[in-house]
Structure 1
């Protein structure tokens, strides 16, 4: 969790419907009983404290190493630092910028991952958006369809977009690739309304609108 952000200034601590953005995903993670500890890797411990967040029996705040600060540092290097300091059988990684991720999706992904590992069919998992639409290159040449034989988009081969919402892996799988995605990853398809990832001001506006819709629906139930 960085203090500064390039495209949406201070987004991790900016209020979203009455609470700072980081609080959305933190509250979600703490609502999942299967998660023993939430580790926050940050260069902004003081800002978290100003927002009322301190360490508890389930929340650990790790100060990001100076050499790992900055906008161009690979997240896999930050994860490697966390793995070296935090012992666990299973690691689950998400971002402050995924405010609409639900406990239900996290539990479902954990179950899929655990089943895949138990069967020897997987060593990691990441969430995706399923996309079935017509793609073109910059020169207007088709990528995944025949313009002379237009079929329904729902009949096109599905493509899967890594949506940066959730990654699950083990220490062993990380060691094989030095990355959060191992050699035998599972794809966990998410509802696009839930898979919001805030990178731009437009993303923020969309997430705020979707969060408002969710809150209104929950209030009416």
Structure 2
């Protein structure tokens, strides 16, 4: 999808990258805001934002070998993202989640700090699914020999990783070679917060939703 991250979106002239940086600008618990991209338009805007709005923003040109579709996500995480810092913690999100707001990020950071102190080694945002799921010709998350149609609220929940937030110590990331450690905590997000943009139709739909929210006086930040 051409210029997905920089075309105008819901009144933000510089698009999803502007919206995401303005959301992160309101998150006090972040020491650095790294914008990794191989798109010069994204990097130029990030540099302008850093100079005019928030010095925590750091545009980072992505090496060519990690900016092509042939690169596996595993290699991208293991060989690139895991080495962005020698120590500290990674709090990773994508500009394509326009409704993951500063409030959501602040809440996730608070939960992450709590869960790390309890022995979890990372936080992964997920959407809880309690629906009638089948696999291999039989129910997956309920026993229909006990109750053919149980109440949906009694179904065993299944967690869908929605990719809106990953939080993990860099050391754990390098050791595991992944953005999910050995003991993840699933941070629940509602579907309306976790919606992601991949295709043109999704962009247009979420642009309409975002504009409607702004008309109602609801902030996207």
Do they fold alike, i.e. is TM over 0.5? yes
The CA deviation string for residues 130-187 of structure 1, in whole angstroms up to 9 with x for no partner, is 11111134x6543223456111112111111000100000012102211111111100
Is the 2:35–2:43 Cα contact (8 Å) retained in structure 1?
Answer: no
C-alpha distance in 1 between matches for 2:44 and 2:123: 32
Aligned to 2:90: 91
Aligned to 2:163: 164
Structure 2 runs not aligned, ≥5 long: none
The change in CA–CA distance for 1:209 and 1:67 in structure 2 (over 3 A counts) is same
Aligned to 2:191, the other structure's residue is in SS state: coil
The change in CA–CA distance for 1:18 and 1:177 in structure 2 (over 3 A counts) is same
Aligned to 1:13: 6
Aligned to 2:140: 143
Matched, 1:24 2:19: yes
Is the 1:45–1:61 Cα contact (8 Å) retained in structure 2?
Answer: no
The change in CA–CA distance for 1:54 and 1:205 in structure 2 (over 3 A counts) is closer
Aligned to 2:141, the other structure's residue is in SS state: coil
Q: How many angstroms does 1:29 deviate by?
A: 1.0
Q: How many angstroms does 1:52 deviate by?
A: 7.5
Q: How many angstroms does 1:36 deviate by?
A: 1.3
Q: How many angstroms does 1:15 deviate by?
A: 1.4
The aligned length equals: 211
> What are the within-5 Å matches in structure 2 for residues 124-139 of structure 1?
124-137=122-135
**Match for residue 72 of structure 2 among 71, 74, 78:** 74
Is the 2:35–2:57 Cα contact (8 Å) retained in structure 1?
Answer: yes
Aligned to 1:39, the other structure's residue is in SS state: strand
RMSD value, Cα: 2.4
Is the 2:85–2:170 Cα contact (8 Å) retained in structure 1?
Answer: no
Structure 1 runs not aligned, ≥5 long: 1-7
